Amino acid sequence: MLHLGGLRTALFNYLLARRYGGEFILRIEDTDQARLVPGAAEGIVQTLEWAGLNFDEGPGKGPDKYFQSQRSDIYRKHAQELLDRGAAYRCFCSTSRLEALRTEQTAQGRAPAYDRHCAHLSSRQIDEKLRAGERHTVRMRAPSAEDSDSGRFYDIVHRAMDFRGPAGFDDAVLLKSDGQPTYHLANVVDDHLMRITHVLRGEEWLMSTPKHRALFTAFGWQAPQYAHLPLLMNPDGSKLSKRNDDGPVQRYIDDGYLPESLVNYTALLGWHPETPQELFTLRQLEQSFSLAGLSRSKSVVSRERLDWLNRQHLRAALADPDKSAGLIQQARAEVAAASGLETASVRPETVATALRLAGDRLTFTKDLYNAVPFMFGDPALDTTAAEQALILVPHEFHIPILNALEHALASEVSESWIGFAKSVAAAAQVPTKHVMMMLRFALTGERFGPKIPELLDALPVDSIKRRIRSAKAEIESR
């Protein structure tokens, strides 16, 4: 399941490739079989497709193998190359010994690190252990702090970095005892073989970058440029994780957000455009994105801002003939489900009008029925909401206004609805605002809602007449 942070990483890599004519490559890091979730890779591909982030190479698309579990022979070959160069060595330490070492170092207030117990085994000792079938890993022989510049590098986001220290860094495991590579080896090898020039990833990998740069040096390869993206945070300051409600991308999809709005929102989590513009299409992002706009500050995930963006993108999509038809059909099914009506009885034309009428008050199409229920049936007039509208008009004006409305609607309305309301007000000898509120009561059964002229344009005249009669009957029955 793709996390919002993962979507941001994919998006920034995609935008960088599109802006500068590069290639966006999707690799599936599935070498840790114990943590493998069935269907996870397919879910990632589907989520990226939903977001419109079409990769140039990846599973099912391209000349290479893109699941790292399918590339084990490649990693073992390169691990052997490091062994032959003396840049790596075999480690036969048992799990219990490593745990004891870690416990002892922690108790002494030292950072846990391998003590190179196996780094100086002779060839004869190694051969004996291999013939005996002893399980082992392959570790990189990390260079000393004095002999390596791996810990000093330039990060596109964090600028000049220097992780050099007297202790250097740990001899990281490259091949596990089951023969599978770790992230360190697999990604360095793949980055080189796939000609990766830029790596944009989460800042949790910043501390591992010296190891990766050391591996590039050991192989004699040029390291790519790195940009480590700051963490995403909850409003309370805690780290956004996969377990948070706002973590998984699928949660946003299920909640009804448009791909355009989530992509727009995600792009602004750690990237600042050169202009005050906030509303972006994917195409506009492709043309505007730059590495210079990446921020070192952590970004807070806020649904409030995302909701605003979704309203803007929904309105734009409804104005686009290529997108509106699909949204109308989606909303039609959602209205049927929310109202209990048969889908066939919910007319697409009514849904289209209702979507326009709801306007900026609508964040999701699934909320259309609750936003304007009166577009799909006559309103209930004995509710608290209806009463809140009715009490704004003096009681003695109720029937005179409704009588005047009935009379005015008996013939064809030839003037604007504003002019119509003023004429009714004059006939009933009441202020125009009271006519407007009585219309709102009769037509919607609510105190707030769309502008009355827009509502009168949206409803068939027969429906307006029927609702006026129903309102009159409701008041007379009290």
472 carries an active-site annotation = no
CA 333 to chain centre: 24
Element (H, E) at 310: helix 303-318
Rounded CA-CA distance 421/426 in Å is 9
Q: How many C-beta atoms surround the C-beta of residue 452 within 10 A?
A: 19
Q: Which of 73, 13, 31 is nearest to 196 (CA)?
A: 13
Q: Return the number of other C-beta atoms located less than 10 Å from residue 78's C-beta.
A: 22
Q: Are 145 and 91 in contact (CB under 8 A)?
A: no
Helix/strand/coil (H/E/C) assignment for every residue in 337-364: HHHCCCHHHCCHHHHHHHHHHHHHHCCC
Q: What sign has the CA pseudo-torsion 311, 316, 321, 323?
A: negative
As a whole number of angstroms, the distance between CA 438 and CA 446 comes to 10
Catalytic residue among 242, 433, 451, 472: 242
Q: Strand locations in 215-342, DSSP E?
A: 225-229, 232-233, 299-300
Return the H-helix or E-strand segment holding 237: none
The three-state secondary structure class of 116 is coil
Strand partners, 88: 140
**Which H or E run includes 140?**
strand 137-140
CA 62 to chain centre: 26
- 302: its two tokens: 């806020």
- Rounded to whole angstroms, how far apart are CA atoms 309 and 278? 8
Q: Are strands 159-162 and 152-155 parallel, antiparallel or unpaired?
A: antiparallel
Alpha helices (H) along 149-182: none
**Which residues partner with 248 through β-bridges?**
3
How far apart, in whole angstroms, are the C-alpha atoms of residue 69 and residue 65?
Answer: 9
| Paired strand residues for 460 | none
Quote the CA–CA distance of 45 and 67 in Å, as a whole number: 12
3-state class (DSSP) for residue 88: strand
Please tell me the distance from the alpha carbon of residue 451 to that of residue 439, in angstroms, as a whole number: 11
Q: Which residues are 89's β-sheet partners?
A: 139
Tell me which residues are annotated as active site. 242
